[in-house]
Structure 1
Amino acid sequence: MDRLQAMRIFVKVAETESFAEAARHLRLSAPAVTRAVAALEELIGARLFVRTTRSVKVTEAGARYLEDCRRILSDITEAEAAAGGIYATPTGTLAVTASALFGPMHVLPIVTEYLDRYPGMRAQTFFVDRPVNIVEEGIDVAVRIGHLPDSGLTAIRVGTVRRVVCGAPAYFERHGVPQTPADLKHHRIAVSTGAWASPEWRFARDQRVTIDPVLQCNTNEAVIATAKAGWGLTRVLHYQIGPALLAGELRIVLADHEEPPLPIHVLHPEGRHAPAKVRAFVDLAVARLRENRFLN
């Protein structure tokens, strides 16, 4: 027996003072209503109604039980509404993570737009160049660059980024433009020692070049600034130099030799049952990142 359903049936019979009328209101058969009340009476061990050919009245025990049933059903409705509200309206604090440069450039504007849309929300950002376990560290949404391992997380692909070799026009005027990856051995190279750092640069068709950098910097911002100044060449992710490319400060070389681009995903751990604060942010982030000209 579904006890909550039986309680709802009992309340409706008490309110309408009729088994048949209760059945019509609840869209049940009259025998189903009768069986539900009988099952409750057997469970409780007391008569709930006095039945005559003309009326159905609650007994003294039934009157007390009716009051309790109304309170219990009201509490359940209130609890469901409160829980459902979490999934209907964004509330609380949203925690978002992305890499140290990508986050401020392309995720932070989405976070601030989100907060403007939902003034009652709060947000925390974690822009770091290290693996973040979003479940263990309490992160609601992550934006990840690269191929993803198998996991139970929901992942939505929103774009791609390329690894590109770049330099300033002034550098190429002085030192020439490399035509193949092997030509990089004859150029001055600056590299970042960050997350993507590797002495071996890989290119399409299994071409590999071991780089002997003259300058090593601990941030991508530093090597990009060095390249913009015309000092040497560097290799970064395409999105990182988007504004500099538009301004003509940097130029990409060896584009025909690039590896396939890396995917970008928006991840969250709760799938279809994610609360409204997560679903609202994911929807906005997916739309904005897919619109971003530097990520496609």
Structure 2
Amino acid sequence: MDRWQSMRIFVKVAETESFSEAARQLHMSPPAVTRAVAALEDAIGARLLVRTTRSVKLTESGSQYLDDCRGILAQITEAEASAAGSYATPSGTLTLTAAALFGHMHVLPVVHEFLRAHPAVNARTLFVDRPVNLVEEGIDVAVRIGHLPDSGYTAIKVGEVRRVVCGAPSYFAAHGTPTVPADLRNHRVAASTGAWVSPEWRFAGDHKVTVQTWLQSNTNEAVIATAIAGMAVARVPEYQIASALTDGRLVIVLADHEEPPLPIHVVYPAGRHAPAKVRAFVDLAAKRLSSR
């Protein structure tokens, strides 16, 4: 077995933390996977993995070697794809992720436009309100709302999102309108467990208010519906209630006390080595999302 194939097997074992799962995903027998990793360790003269009956963990040397292997394998893939032409013309499967509602409302139209322009590309979307590891889940492009960790990925800022406190006019007519954040302690609050788990809401000037949640839901759609029904106030991204603000079903309060808006970035891990499908989509997404 050649060295690059052994490296590929080692990377899969490290990512799955399992010889048997790596074998299943690579369509190999578990003994063959075990032999490949053992041969690789013998060849470089270092233990890469610590095996127990229940887990497989990287050693310190293995962790460093894993990063090196990923870089080498990416270069091999790039060279092969370049020879085949995929780095010149968008083709293949484009996998992307975004927050659920933002993905449906703003990213999906960009995907549709992109697919119409590039018939050799097909797409897979993952619109979820949870952290997504781009490398482990095979994501080409992510649209992320919020401040980014230092990941080493390429990121292009395309906009900002306000988080606003809102409610129905009928609710404020019945319960009064909060004029300072502390007033929220006396109001019914509907909140999403997915987006803001903490009951502590932050405002400008480092002000913090612990709210008593009257209704909790795992979706912002339910929270917004509760606010529109005049039953509670809510705190949600402004884009999610744009139509309700336009037609007067909801109004924003405490606007003068909001924290700075959250940035929106288009993020991709491939960097300057990105294939044509990624580069073309990022260019289009940056243009469309910046103008929304």
Q: Normalized against structure 2, the TM-score is what?
A: 0.70
Note the residue ranges of structure 2 that are not aligned, 5 or more in a row: 1-78
Q: Distance in 1 between matches of 2:105 and 2:82?
A: 37
Q: Deviations over 1:119-177 (max 9, x none)?
A: 22110001111111111211000011111111221000001111110001221222221
Q: Distance in 1 between matches of 2:272 and 2:248?
A: 44
Runs of at least 4 residues off by over 3 Å? 79-82
How far did 1:209 drift? 0.8
Identity rate, percent = 71
How far did 1:82 drift? 5.7
Note the residue ranges of structure 1 that are not aligned, 5 or more in a row: 1-78
90-99 vs 240-249, which deviates more? 240-249
3-state DSSP class of the match of 2:232? coil
* CA shift in 2, pair 1:198/1:134, >3 Å: same
3-state DSSP class of the match of 1:90? coil
How far did 1:84 drift? 6.3
Matches within 5 A, 1:266-285: 266-285=266-285
Q: Deviations over 1:19-77 (max 9, x none)?
A: xxxxxxxxxxxxxxxxxxxxxxxxxxxxxxxxxxxxxxxxxxxxxxxxxxxxxxxxxxx
* CA shift in 2, pair 1:81/1:210, >3 Å: closer
Contact 2:82/2:88, CA 8 A, preserved across alignment = no
User: Which residue of the partner structure matches residue 65 of structure 1?
Assistant: none
Aligned length: 214
* CA shift in 2, pair 1:84/1:156, >3 Å: farther
How far did 1:83 drift? 2.2
Matched, 1:99 2:99: yes
Q: Distance in 2 between matches of 1:126 and 1:177?
A: 38
| Structural RMSD (CA) | 1.6
Q: Normalized against structure 1, the TM-score is what?
A: 0.69
User: Which residue of the partner structure matches residue 176 of structure 1?
Assistant: 176
How far did 1:81 drift? 9.4
User: Which residue of the partner structure matches residue 166 of structure 2?
Assistant: 166
User: Which residue of the partner structure matches residue 86 of structure 1?
Assistant: 86
3-state DSSP class of the match of 2:266? strand
3-state DSSP class of the match of 1:179? coil
Q: Distance in 2 between matches of 1:224 and 1:83?
A: 51
One-letter code of the match for 2:214? V
Larger Rg: 1
Q: Distance in 2 between matches of 1:81 and 1:267?
A: 22
Q: Deviations over 1:72-124 (max 9, x none)?
A: xxxxxxx9896262112110010000112211111111111111111221100
Matched, 1:148 2:148: yes
